[in-house]
Copies of this chain bind each other. A is one copy, B any other.
């Protein structure tokens, strides 16, 4: 039973990491640290998670005494030194920040001076479904992908060699903005509202560029904020290099994800409610009759597959456990169901 510490457990993603590890049959949650709220029990901050460990101030030695592995949920920049300290003490680490997702040049262009550049080479990108599974198994350091890239990369991966260009219109719930109370996360700003943001360039673009560097097609990426707490939908519009039928596209996706436990193919557009509090990405791919453009819709829970549960999926691989262990629902495999949530009838017409 591997002993696991969660570093940064007072934030939304970190707290959820702790809750998932606590209930995981193959892992033992042995420490939770936080920069705020130290001294409180985690269930005083998040009653719903029912994890009664106390939040401690981070101390690498004390964590290393009690844990074989750590999930680090710090902001970018703050994460790298902590990750370094834990690796130095022999722990395996999944880092949920952006610090190890990119090559140094790209990181420093999109973020800031890197705090631990020597580690970048060692880090593996933790999206097993797009060709990283084997390397994740071998890695001591895995970078958990961003929430937007998770959905977008899963949507575009089967098309990477066929895409001439892509437009990604992404929509996220507010929990993606984190626990900090700001004008943006104020209920009154969000309720009954929707807007695009960071139209000048969201940093998550960097991960798309990095992962699709070889494929080399241009991607327009625009995030929107929605009045929901958890959930993320990436609507992707791909101009194909050659004509594709809806059947072609369906087959491409069926083949690409035939054995993936956490990718679920649906006959109609997925709703984020279909995947709430799961590690699943639910996908629907088709072709717009009028233009021949390929449409792909990818729904995830931004805090689960977009952050915490995907980190545990990676940790399972790193520790030699079954990839699905402790992660709840896996993909429905029988002939894919039609969506129940939004039918194609009787909507704004």
Contact = CB atoms under 8 A, between A and B. Distances in A.
Interface string A176-193: 111111111111111111
Interface in A168-205: 169, 171-205
A194 B343 contact: no
Interface in A39-94: 41, 43-48, 50, 52
A340 B183 CA distance: 8
Interface stretch (A113-121, A250-258, A273-281): A273-281
Interface of A: 12, 41, 43-48, 50, 52, 146-148, 165, 167, 169, 171-205, 218-220, 222-233, 235, 237, 239, 266, 268-277, 282, 284, 286, 288-291, 293, 295, 297, 299, 302, 329, 332, 334, 337-349
A290 B201 contact: yes
| Interface-centre pick from A180, A183, A223 (highest chain B CB count, 10 A) | A183
B348 A269 contact: no
Contacts of A194: 171, 226, 228, 231, 233, 271-272
A346 B180 contact: yes
Tell me how many chains of this kind the complex includes: 4
Contacts of A271: 193-195
Given A199-B269, A269-B196, A226 B226 contact: yes
A227 B225 contact: no
Contact of A344 (B45, B198, B229, B282): B198
A52 B232 CA distance: 25
Contacts of A148: 348
Given A185-B186, A205-B290, A289-B200, A193 B346 contact: no
Given A271-B195, A342-B189, A222 B295 contact: yes
Given A43-B332, A270-B195, A337-B44, A227 B187 contact: yes
A129 B280 CA distance: 36
A187 B192 contact: no
Nearest to A223: B348
Nearest 3 CB-CB pairs, A to B?
Answer: A176-B348, A195-B271, A169-B169
A185 B187 contact: yes
Nearest to A348: B176
A43 B175 contact: no
